[in-house]
Amino acid sequence: MLEIENEIIRRNIMMKKSGILALVAVLLVAVLVFAACSPATPAAESSAPADDASPASSGEASASAADSGKKLKFGEIAHDRALEWVNYGVQNFEYTCEQLGVEPVVIDAQNDMEKVLAGMEDLLSQDVDAVSVYSFSPDLDARVAQMARDAGIPIVFENAVPADSVDRDAVTCCTYYDIGYAAAKMIGDKYPGSKFVYIMGQPGMNITEPYNDGIAAAIADGADTEMVESAPTNWTAEEGMNATQNLIQSGKEFDVIFANNEQIAQGVVKALDAAGLKDKIPIIATGGSPLGVEMLESGDLYGTIAAPTSYMGALSAKKLYDLTNGKAVEEMTYLPLLPATKEEIDQIIPWTPGAEVIEAIGGLD
C-alpha cells in the first residue's frame, strides 16, 4: 500500500515539472515574437550627412540662417578707424545693421594686413552670417574671399574695387578716377592757368592711382591747370602738414593744393598758416565729412568733392542683409559724387548715421 502511495506522489511531481517547463517555453516564444514585431531603431548614420554631400552655397547657407529665426550677425573688417573716412563708414554699417535687427561685429585692422586675416578668422569663429571687408590688395582680397567661400557666407567688398579674379558677391565703393577728374576740373575752372600740388594718400591700395589717372584725363580734356608735384602720406593730418612743409621748403612754385581727404587738408592748413600762406594758397579736398563742411564754412577749403562714406557703410550692410535673405543685389555700386563749395553744403549727404543716409540708399525694404 505504501509503495502505491509513493508512486502516485512521484507521478504528481513529474506532472508539475512538465507543466512548469511548458509554461516557460510558451513565455520564451512570446518574447521572441514581440521582439520580431517591434519597429527597428533608426541607424545612427541615417541622421548624419553623406560623406559625398556637397556644401551649401553661400546664398543657400545664409538664407537658411535667416530662415532659422536666429538673430543674424554681420562682420566688417575696416581699414583703420583712426581715419575719419573709415570711422564714419563703420558707424553707418553698425547703425544700419541695428535698424535691420542684425548684430554688427567690427574688426579694426589698423592698416595692418596681418590683422585682416586674423580678424577674418576671429569673425568666422564667432559664426557671422556674412562679412563686409575693405579692399586692401589683390592677394589679401583673394585670401579673405576664399575664407568666406569656404565658410559658405556672402562677402561684400568696400572702398575700392578688388581685382577681377577675386570672388565676391558685391562691391560698394568710390570711383576714385571720377573724383580725381572732378577735382582737376574744379581747379581749372576756378583757377585757370594754375599750378597745383597733389598731397595724396597712401599708394598701393588702388585709390591714389585712379586719382592720378582721373587728374591726367581731366587735364588732357582741357582742364586749365597743371599738376607740378605730388607727395604721399598715410592719410593723416600730421603727414599732410609735413608733406606741405617739405614742398614749401623745396621752393617749388604752386598756386593750389589738392588734398586727398579733409584730414590731410587740415594738416595742409596748419603748414600754410605757419608759413604765412594760408590766405594765398587755396585748397581743394575730397570727402564732405563734418570736418570738411566746417572747413568749407570757415573758408579753409574752397571746395571738396563730396563722396559719402556713410552711403558706403549703410549700403554694404543692406546688401549683406538682402544676400542672407536670398535676394539679388547690385553687384557694383559707386558712391554718388558732388563737387561742392560753400554754396552746395546743403546738398551734401551727411556722414553721421541717421534717417537721411538710409533714405539716400533707397530705404531698407
- Helix and strand tally (H, E) in the chain? 12, 12
- Residue 241 class from Cβ within 10 Å (0-12 exposed, 13-18 middle, 19+ buried)? buried
User: Above 60 in pLDDT, residue 87?
Assistant: yes
pLDDT confidence tier of residue 204, bands split at 50, 70 and 90: confident
- Matching fold, domains 58-174+310-360 and 176-306: yes
Percentages (nearest 5) of helix, strand, coil residues in the chain:
50, 15, 35
Considering only 31-40, 59-68, 269-278, which range has the smallest mean pLDDT?
A: 31-40
Number of residues assigned to the chain: 365
Question: Model confidence over 124-145: pLDDT tens digits?
Answer: 999 999 999 999 999 999 999 9
| Topology adopted by domain 176-306 | Rossmann fold (3.40.50)
Within 13 Å of residue 184, how many CA atoms lie on the same side as its CB?
A: 25
- Four-way CATH pick for 58-174+310-360: 2.20.25.570, 3.40.50.2300, 3.30.70.20, 3.40.718.10: 3.40.50.2300
SS (H, E, C) 18-62: HHHHHHHHHHHHHHHHHHHHCCCCCCHHHHCCCCCCCCCCHHHHH
| pTM exceeds 0.95, yes or no | no
Grid coordinates given for 11: 507521478
The whole-number pLDDT of residue 66 equals 58
Grid coordinates given for 192: 585757370
Domain ranges of the chain: 58-174+310-360, 176-306
Please give the C-alpha separations between residue 216 and each of 3, 122, 272, 285, in angstroms, as whole numbers.
Answer: 135, 42, 26, 17
The whole-number pLDDT of residue 70 equals 85
